[in-house]
Amino acid sequence: MISVCVIGLGYVGLPILVNLSKKFKTTGYDINKQRIEDLKKGKDLFNEFKKKTLKKRKINFTNSIDLIKKSNLFIITVPTPINKKKQPDLNHLKDVCNKLSKIIKKNDIIIFESTVYPGLTNDFCIPLIEKNNNLKEGVDFYVGYSPERVNPGDNNHTLKNINKILAYPHNYLKKELIKVYSLISKKIIFSNNIRETETAKVIENIQRDVNIGLINEFYLVCKRLNLDFNNVINLASSKWNFIKFKPGLVGGHCLPVDPYYFSFISKKNNFNTKITLAGRTINNLMTTIVKKEITEKLKKIDPQKNKKILFCGLTYKKNVADLRNSLGLKIFKSLKKNNKKIRGYDPTLNNQISKKNNLVISFKEFKSFDIYILVTNHSIISRNLKKLNKNKTIINVLD
Ligand SMILES: NC(=O)c1ccc[n+]([C@@H]2O[C@H](COP(=O)([O-])OP(=O)(O)OC[C@H]3O[C@@H](n4cnc5c(N)ncnc54)[C@H](O)[C@@H]3O)[C@@H](O)[C@H]2O)c1
């Protein structure tokens, strides 16, 4: 009988746990005590799950490693960020592997889902898990890798209706494992090769980052040349193989991080990547460009700095309540330094977070401003802007 434990209950881990709890005995483990306390009460700070759903499922939420010992399938979804030197920060994975090495039993299965560089599962994680016991991977316990492809804020590509790769180079419970994963995603693409799967995941994101970087560069050059960017793109898109990306602020946990993982391992193997990181410079530069655009517009509209200004959309992406690596948030903070009166508004965020950061919450207050800077265009913000009187000024960034 399969008993699942998901380790790391963030944006990726919680939805997997909730899906699997429909059929399996499930435990959710996280080192963040507050997160566990909240989840026990049915509270999801990321607003993805309603209290009713979390309460209905019989999930054991815990931050005690002793209480996960009885599970036999461990799914690891802890963060894999970069450090100040922009190198992979593997501390979360290291901590999990060290803990697992003390509780692992014969015939346990461990599937890593965190985004990593090629080879990390085999060369870094497995040796750590084998350290405090006499068990051997592939003989006594089994490791696989299934990268997460969920695209936050995208209702067409939800966890349930995307294809998910599962790399599991073993025969032990292979069919059962595929069945477990079929509960998570529509179609399982099976692979016998963990390294290839790790690589596939990381290059998917790099390709996107580089493409957005390129379109951001086109946008900037069009501005310099006094050309209407949208007209240019519409003309170019009339060719059958032109790929239409949109200029934008690239934030979050994946695109700004994954190119560094790939470059890191490439450098370790004596090749300095030439293009992988190309999107990074230009995509980060967009913070300065967008801030400059807003400041110039404000100088014209509000030279005396006496109008009420609301900065709309602080999270990194449309319809996503995630502030990590948000360039919008960065721009907001920077604008606020020169104009203390600017307020922020982001209805995707939990009221608790909004209150703590003195953000506007009610529609009554929302409609009391003179100028609205639209940065992250959440659907609720769009709807609310449409309800405003015609005399309001809206600055639509990167439009
Ligand atoms: N968020 C996304 O959209 C997305 C998409 C694809 C892939 N990924 C990848 O999935 C992984 C997880 O990302 P996320 O967005 O869910 O991160 P997250 O920060 O939302 O959640 C991670 C959770 O792990 C917990 N944690 C950290 N260290 C731990 C430890 N040692 N033991 C137990 N719990 C621990 C944290 O407290 C947190 O609750 C990352 O590798 C990320 O790159 C994320």
Classify residue 285: in a domain, yes or no. no
Instruction: Verify that 41 and 127 share a domain, yes or no.
Output: yes
pLDDT at residue number 57: 86
Asked if residue 381 is part of any domain, the answer here is yes
Residues 117 and 60 in one domain: yes
Output the CA 42–ligand 1 centroid distance in Å.
19
φ/ψ region of 112 (left if φ > 0, alpha if ψ in -120 to 50, else beta) reads beta
Q: What is the DSSP string of 176-192?
A: HHHHHHHTTSSEEEEES
Query: Under a CB-based contact definition with an 8 Å cutoff, are residues 180 and 216 in contact?
Result: no
Closest-CA residue to 285 (of 215, 207, 217, 206): 217
- 218 and 249 inside one domain: yes
Q: Which atom number of ligand 1 is nearest to the Cα of residue 93?
A: 31
Within a domain: residue 373? Answer: yes
In a domain, 130, yes or no: yes
Q: Is residue 218 part of a domain?
A: yes
User: Which residue type occupies 101?
Assistant: S
Tell me the torsion sign for CA atoms 227, 233, 234, 236: positive
Amino acid 362 reads: S
Same domain, 229 and 119: no
**152 C-alpha to ligand 1 centroid (Å):** 13
Cα 78 from Cα 294, distance rounded (Å): 36
Q: Known catalytic residues?
A: 254
Residue 137's DSSP bridge partners are 141
Q: What spacing in Å lies between the alpha carbon of 10 and ligand 1's midpoint?
A: 5
For residue 327, how far is its CA from the centre of ligand 1 (angstroms)? 20
State whether 230 and 311 are in the same domain.
Answer: no
Please count the structural domains in the chain. 3
Those residues of the chain that have pLDDT short of 70 are none
- Establish whether residue 42 lines the binding site of ligand 1, counting it when its CB lies within 6 angstroms of any ligand atom: no
Q: Are residues 258 and 327 in the same domain?
A: no
C-alpha 37 to ligand 1 mean position (Å)? 18
Name the residue with tokens 């995941």: 201
Asked if the structure places residue 177 within a domain, the reply is yes
- Ligand 1 pocket test: which of 77, 100, 203 has the largest number of ligand atoms within 8 Å of its C-beta? 77
Question: Has residue 286 been placed in a domain?
Answer: no
Task: Tell me how far the alpha carbon of residue 323 is from its chain's centroid.
Answer: 10
Task: Give the per-residue pLDDT at 155.
Answer: 79
> Left (φ > 0), alpha (ψ -120 to 50) or beta: where does 224 sit?
alpha
82 lines ligand 1 (CB under 6 A): no
Q: Is 9 in the pocket of ligand 1 (CB under 6 A)?
A: yes
Please indicate, yes or no, whether residues 13 and 121 belong to a single structural domain of this protein. Answer: yes
Provide the pLDDT for residue 206: 98
CB < 8 Å & 24+ apart, contacts of 382-391:
384/347, 385/312, 387/363
* Consecutive H or E run containing 101: helix 91-103
- Does 382 fall in a domain? yes
Of 225, 371, 266, whose CA–CA distance to 310 is shortest? 371
Kindly report the CA angle at 263 between 260 and 268, in degrees rounded to 5?
Answer: 125
Q: What is the pLDDT of residue 90?
A: 98
As a whole number of angstroms, the distance between CA 65 and CA 341 comes to: 47
Residues 6 or more apart in contact with residue 226 via CB below 8 angstroms? none
Do residues 142 and 31 both lie within one domain? yes
The number of helices, as runs of H, and strands, as runs of E, in the chain is: 15, 12
Q: What is the DSSP string of 36-86?
A: HHHHHTT--TTS-S-HHHHHHS-EEEES-GGGGTT-SEEEE-----B-TTS
pLDDT for residue 29? 98
Q: What is the predicted pLDDT for the residue at 160?
A: 81
Helix, strand or coil, per DSSP, at residue 88? strand
Pocket test residue of 9, 11, 61 for ligand 1, highest count of atoms within 8 A of CB: 11
The whole-number pLDDT of residue 148 equals: 93
pTM: 0.93
Q: Is residue 8 lining ligand 1, measured as CB closer than 6 Å?
A: yes
Location of structure tokens 């299934």: 146
Strands 187-191 and 343-345: unpaired
Out of 280, 314, 332, a domain closes at 280
The verdict on 75 and 39 lying in the same domain is yes
DSSP 127-194: HHHTTTSS--BTTTBEEEE------TT-SSS-GGGSEEEEE----TTHHHHHHHHHTTSSEEEEES-H
The 10 Å Cβ neighbour count of residue 62 is 17
Strands 393-396, 371-374: parallel, antiparallel or unpaired by DSSP?
parallel
Q: What pLDDT, on a 0 to 100 scale, did the predictor assign at position 161?
A: 86
pLDDT tens, position by position, 236-266:
999 999 999 999 999 998 999 999 999 999 9
Q: What domain range includes position 270?
A: 201-280
**pLDDT confidence of residue 47:** 78
Question: For ligand 1, is residue 74 a contact (CB within 6 Å)?
Answer: no
- Whether residues 105 and 249 share a domain: the answer is no
Query: Does the Cβ of 286 fall within 6 Å of ligand 1?
Result: no
Distance CA 278, CA 269 (A): 19
32 in ligand 1 pocket by Cβ < 6 Å? yes
What's 123's DSSP letter?
A: I
The CB of 119 under 6 Å from ligand 1? The reply is no
Last residue of a domain, one of 192, 217, 243: 192
- Convert the pLDDT of each residue in 341-387 to its tens digit: 899 999 999 888 899 999 999 999 999 999 999 999 999 999 999 99
Give yes or no: residues 386 and 318 share one domain: yes
Query: Are 303 and 358 within one domain?
Result: yes
Q: Where among 227, 259, 280 does a domain terminate?
A: 280
Distance between Cα 122 and ligand 1 center (Å): 20
Q: What is the CATH number of the domain that holds 42?
A: 3.40.50.720
CA gap 33, 64 in Å, rounded: 10
